[in-house]
Amino acid sequence: MNMPRLREEPVRPELERTVLRRAAGAVLECLLVLAVVALLLEGMSRIVHLNKRPAIPVISDPDGALRMPAGFDATIQLAGREPFALCTDAQGLRVANCSAATLAADTEVLVIGDSQALGWGFEFGQTFGALVAAELPGHRAGHRADHPADGVRLMAAAATDVESLQSWAAEHRQAVASAHAPAGRLPLLNIVSLNLGNDLDEMFFSRSSVTVPRFRAAREWLAVHSTVMADFTIAKNALFNAEWQSPPGANPVLFALDDAERATLAKAAAAAVERLARALPPARDTVVLLLPNDYQVQPHEFDKYRRFYPQAAQFESWQRRIPQAVARLDALQAAIATELQARGWRVAVPHEALKAVDPLALFDRGSHHYSPLGQRILARSVLEALHAGTGKLS
């Protein structure tokens, strides 16, 4: 006698669906917990910093060249420094403030360079670009007589050089051309700064090793908007500072090249400055500002970098080379200035004026950055070069 077969229930598919639902729920729960933890950490970080940012953010273009983020508006307080406001326009250029009038103002003075030109650690009005603008006769006679800084733009960011800034300058020129400014009206002045403390090494070493990080967009969004991300980056750099690729405060390029190669580097630097100056929107005049390194102004300034070296022997090996480094930097500075002047550019060299000042009042005590006093000396040097009456229009 044949018994009827019982119908088999679809147990396995139902079980699989249950497992998947539970796994998805667990993943969502973990993501929710992580999001809550991230928000709590961000909130705690902002409370600790009193809603000030502990670092100045940077972003990069598709080729890895750094620049400031567009539309950034925050109060920054670097370690050991007073808080200051930092605002950028739609192209990432630092401006005096984020008021509608300032953002809409026509550019009268455009400064391009690295963190020295940005005004690392202090208010916009203390930067050499703003100080120069306040003294320009054409600026004082204009419609912004009471607010000369409104017409100043700083195309500057940390770890840039006169070669890596080329793409930013070209994009800004295109944006200015698209704005359809009145015909015949040109900004008063472009200032192109060459930082001998960083630019020569970055030109020679850095561009060959630039890499675009993974998840660049996400990482840069966090760098711009997250305070706890800035804390993490600062902590990581402090914990792993032994992994530096370039000796802090020193200029390895001075010893990587022989005399003939350094002469070629000086010509290449002058040519790069000229290309950058021509990539900018045209102005009535252009001044090239050569910024000497801190130990070039006062050799004992190198001593402040001792704490950044993992081993005393590493620091001492570079310290012994400082006199030779000063001589080579001085020679490069003179060669670059001569080459630029031969090409017809006005050049400001504030070296001697800086040497006449107490370096303790001139430089930041933890870096090569100029103080507000140093910025005033830089501004005076630019004005002296401008009023010398030699050189050519952009």
Indicate if 226 and 341 belong to the same structural domain: yes
pLDDT of 271 reads 97
How confident is residue 143, by pLDDT bands cut at 50, 70 and 90? Answer: very low
pLDDT at 233: 87
Instruction: Please indicate, yes or no, whether residues 38 and 184 belong to a single structural domain of this protein.
Output: no
Domain count along the chain: 2
Task: Identify the residue whose tokens are 């925050």.
Answer: 74
Average pLDDT, the chain: 88
Does 269 lie in the same domain as 121?
A: yes
Share of the chain above pLDDT 90, in %: 65
Note whether 32 and 87 are same-domain residues: no
Are 39 and 68 found together in one domain? Answer: no
In a domain, 15, yes or no: no
d(CA 97, CA 104): 11
Same structural domain, 135 and 230: yes
Selection from 144, 62, 52 nearest residue 95 by Cα: 144
Q: What pLDDT, in 10s, does the model give residues 55-107?
A: 999 999 888 899 999 999 999 999 888 999 999 999 999 999 999 888 888 89
The pLDDT value recorded for residue 67 is 95
User: How far, in Å, CA of 60 to CA of 8, rounded?
Assistant: 61
Strand (E) or helix (H) holding 290: strand 285-291
Quick check: is 209 in a domain?
Answer: yes
State the pLDDT at residue 184.
62
| Token couple for 82 | 């007073």
Domain boundaries, position 206 = 59-387
Residues 45 and 170 in one domain: no
Between 19 and 351, the more confident residue is 351
Mean pLDDT of 242-246: 58
Q: Which stretch of 101-105, 131-135, 170-174 has the lowest confidence by average pLDDT?
A: 101-105
361: domain CATH number is 3.40.50.1110
Res. 391: pLDDT tops 50: no
CA distances, 259 to each of 59, 94, 253, 363 (Å):
36, 38, 11, 30
In a domain? residue 3: no
Same domain, yes or no, for 24 and 147?
A: no
Task: Write the CB contacts of 367 (distance below 8 Å, at least 6 apart in sequence).
Answer: 120
Q: At what angle do helices 128-135 and 372-387 cross, to 10 degrees?
A: 40
d(C-alpha 91, C-alpha 155), whole Å: 9
**Where does the pLDDT of residue 144 fall: very low under 50, low under 70, confident under 90, or very high at 90 and above?**
low
The predicted pLDDT at position 141 comes to 44
> What's the CA gap between 232 and 175, in Å, rounded?
35
Residues 267, 218, single domain; the answer is: yes
Tell me: pLDDT of 214 over 80. no
pLDDT of 5 > 60? The answer is no
pLDDT over 90 (residue 24): no
CB 293 within 8 A of CB 330: no
Same domain, residue pair 95 and 39:
no
Q: Is residue 12 part of a domain?
A: no
Selection from 271, 279, 225, 174 nearest residue 42 by Cα: 225
